[in-house]
Amino acid sequence: MIGFFDSGFGGLTVLRRVVEALPRYDYLYLGDNARAPYGSRSQRVVYEFTREAVDYLFRRGCPLVVIACNTSSAKALRRIQQEHLPGSYPDRRVLGVVRPLVEEVAERKIFRKVGLLATEGVVASEAYLREIEKLDPAIRVFQKACPLLVPIIEAGEQDWEGAELILRRYLDELLAEAGAIDALLLACTHYPILYGTIRRIVEARVEVLEQGPIVAAKLADYLRRHPEIERRLTRGGRRTFLTTDLTERFDRLARIFFGEPVRSRLVAFDREAERGGR
Ligand code: DGL
């Protein structure tokens, strides 16, 4: 299986596009809804939560895990790759979602000034500023932290008029600082759920980039370049969904994010708790 992880529902917007592009593989999705959102948590806590989740997906047999969460990708991925995997899981791989979006922005070669919406944690990490600068220092990036969006989306309130009001305020503040932009990067996997609202607010000439299709294309390319990983993936078209909180609620909201009915199971990262849980 290919493991997918997010603090909650956001990663489903990525998994949806990956499944469309690579339908033959088996996928195991884990949402840590009990502890979402991660966006305003410290680096230490995000690292610990993310490592626990990745270890859990490894124990369930995933040779490859995609961290479909920008907060975890920005704050925990590098440390997991550099410190955790070599000692504990040298034959497993973990990929994130920051790098694919950064590469896309640089490779397109048409963007000069981009805006970026993300959680507080991602903005404070400056991961996007650093990575875009490395690939193309001429691109200017203006970031805006949007701490209210993930809680609104996790509550299933994306169609509430308050969501649009809040989004307008974040975008007004971003554009007041940046002026005209060529592209708006949705650097949080929850935000595609607000795509329609965002599209209504920003000018039509501004390209709005979401990560799902970009990550799907990059993952396909990664698997072509890494046959030693690809060979270990099972191919049954199965999708399994796990959550650390209420399954009924997960299934109701996950349907919106994933675009298909979903039946989840409750898990705890801690093996003892899992045995006694449900
Ligand atoms: N989907 C996560 C991201 O992409 C949301 C983080 C959070 O839990 O705040 O950043």
pLDDT classification of 266: cutoffs 50, 70, 90: very high
**Cα angle vertex 148, ends 142, 150, to 5°?**
95
Distance (Å, rounded) from C-alpha 97 to C-alpha 12? 13
Q: What is the pLDDT of residue 171?
A: 98
Residues 121 and 203 in one domain: yes
242 pLDDT more than 80: yes
Residues 115 and 194 in one domain: yes
Q: What is the DSSP string of 74-122?
A: HHTHHHIIIIIHHHH-TT-EEE-SHHHHHHHHHHH---SEEEEEE-HHH
Please tell me the distance between residue 88's alpha carbon and the centre of ligand 1 in angstroms: 26
What range does the domain containing 50 cover? 2-96+213-275
Domain boundary among 168, 192, 211: 211
Mean pLDDT of the 1-30 span: 97
Distance (Å, rounded) from C-alpha 48 to C-alpha 64? 19
Residues 62 and 197 in one domain: no
Q: Ligand 1 atom closest to Cα of 10?
A: 1
Pair of tokens at residue 276: 């006694």
End-to-end CA distance of the chain: 23
* Ligand 1 pocket member 39 (CB < 6 A): yes
Q: What is the pLDDT of residue 271?
A: 58
Residues 113 and 204 in one domain: yes
Residues 238 and 221 in one domain: yes
Q: What is the pLDDT of residue 272?
A: 45
Distance (Å, rounded) from C-alpha 53 to C-alpha 31? 9
Number of domains in the chain: 2
Residues 37 and 174 in one domain: no
Report, as residue numbers or ranges, the catalytic residues: 69, 188
> Tens of pLDDT along 125-174?
999 999 999 999 999 999 999 999 999 998 899 999 999 999 999 999 99
- Per DSSP, the chain holds a count of helices (H) and strands (E) of 15, 10
Residues 83 and 126 in one domain: no
Q: What is the pLDDT of residue 121?
A: 93
Distance (Å, rounded) from C-alpha 269 to C-alpha 267? 7
Q: Ligand 1 atom closest to Cα of 71?
A: 10
> Tens of pLDDT along 184-241?
999 999 999 999 999 999 999 999 999 999 999 999 999 999 999 999 999 999 999 9
Domain boundary among 163, 186, 211: 211
Residues 110 and 204 in one domain: yes
CATH number of the domain that residue 31 is part of: 3.40.50.1860
For the whole model, what pTM was predicted? 0.94
Residues 117 and 168 in one domain: yes
Residues 91 and 116 in one domain: no
